[in-house]
């Protein structure tokens, strides 16, 4: 982490979050849950290890966001029930992605890449909404994890002669991510 910044972090945590930061954390908590829930569905259906492994990582991501929410006294925005979301857009997206995943293993792998593509895009936006080091650290760790995940899904698709075309991030950014090696993402991935 940052050496000598513990006092700065303590000082920052006493400053209330902006409404944008609160909204971003609530959305991110459910978006990470969406990833986990879709991957659990895909693992149950296809028993492919990639879905089990990445769903466990998504649970860690959910926990990281919840820790921040708890730190700032923000009520948990996520339902404890799999496949249930308080955000209606995420509920609709979940239903759509689950239906696509139900078609075939290849479609489920495409869904995985799509979810990570969306996560990277959204977190990049959220990074622009804050200067708080604790939020930025979690955002950076989640982005790192999503980059690792999109590389994993892309690798599986490529092995099956399928090309994933990014829908949310630019093709240039996607290709840059693919050219990088998987990295450790702090304690949260």
Note the pLDDT of residue 8: 46
Average pLDDT over residues 27-53: 98
Note the pLDDT of residue 186: 60
- Each residue's pLDDT tens digit, 59-106: 999 999 999 999 999 999 899 999 999 999 999 999 999 999 999 999
Q: Is the CA virtual torsion 7, 67, 126, 157 positive or negative?
A: positive
pLDDT of 122 higher than 90 = yes
CB-count burial class (<10 Å; 0-12, 13-18, 19+) for 170: exposed
Spell out a b/e string for 132-157, using b for 16 or more CB atoms within 10 Å of the CB, else e.
beebebbbebbbbbbbbbbbbbbebb
Whether the Cβ atoms of residue 86 and residue 77 lie closer than 8 Å to each other: yes
Note the pLDDT of residue 83: 97
Q: Which residue, chain included where needed, has tokens 């926990």? A: 63
Whether the Cβ atoms of residue 94 and residue 58 lie closer than 8 Å to each other: no
Note the pLDDT of residue 15: 81
> How sure is the predictor about 189, in pLDDT bands with cuts at 50, 70 and 90?
very low
Give the number of C-alpha atoms closer than 13 A to the C-alpha of residue 101, restricted to the C-beta side. Answer: 28
The token pair that represents 21 in the structure block:
């930061």
- Each residue's pLDDT tens digit, 86-99: 999 999 999 999 99
Give all domains of the chain, ordered by start, each with its CATH number: 18-179 (1.20.1260.10)
Contacts of 126 (CB under 8 A, 6+ apart): 24, 28, 139
Cα 70 to Cα 76: distance, rounded to the nearest angstrom:
8
The CA radius of gyration of the chain, in Å to the nearest whole number, is 17
- Each residue's pLDDT tens digit, 151-183: 999 999 999 999 999 999 999 999 999 998 877
């Amino acid at each position: 982490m940052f050496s000598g910044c513990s006092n700065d972090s303590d000082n920052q945590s006493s400053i209330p979050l902006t409404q944008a930061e609160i909204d971003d954390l609530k959305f991110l908590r459910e978006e990470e849950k969406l990833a986990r829930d879709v991957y659990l569905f895909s693992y149950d259906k296809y028993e492919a290890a990639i879905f089990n492994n990445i769903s466990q990582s998504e649970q860690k991501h959910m926990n990281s966001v919840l820790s921040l929410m708890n730190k700032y006294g923000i009520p948990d925005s996520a339902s404890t029930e799999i496949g249930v979301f308080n955000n209606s857009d995420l509920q609709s997206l979940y239903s759509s992605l689950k239906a696509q995943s139900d078609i075939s293993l290849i479609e489920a792998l495409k869904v995985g890449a799509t979810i990570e593509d969306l996560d990277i895009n959204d977190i990049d936006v959220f990074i622009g909404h804050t200067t708080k080091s604790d939020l930025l650290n979690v955002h950076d760790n989640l982005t790192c994890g999503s980059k690792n995940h999109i590389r994993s899904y892309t690798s599986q698709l490529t092995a099956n002669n399928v090309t994933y075309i990014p829908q949310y991030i630019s093709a240039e950014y996607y290709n840059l991510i693919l050219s990088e090696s998987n990295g450790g993402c702090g304690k949260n991935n």
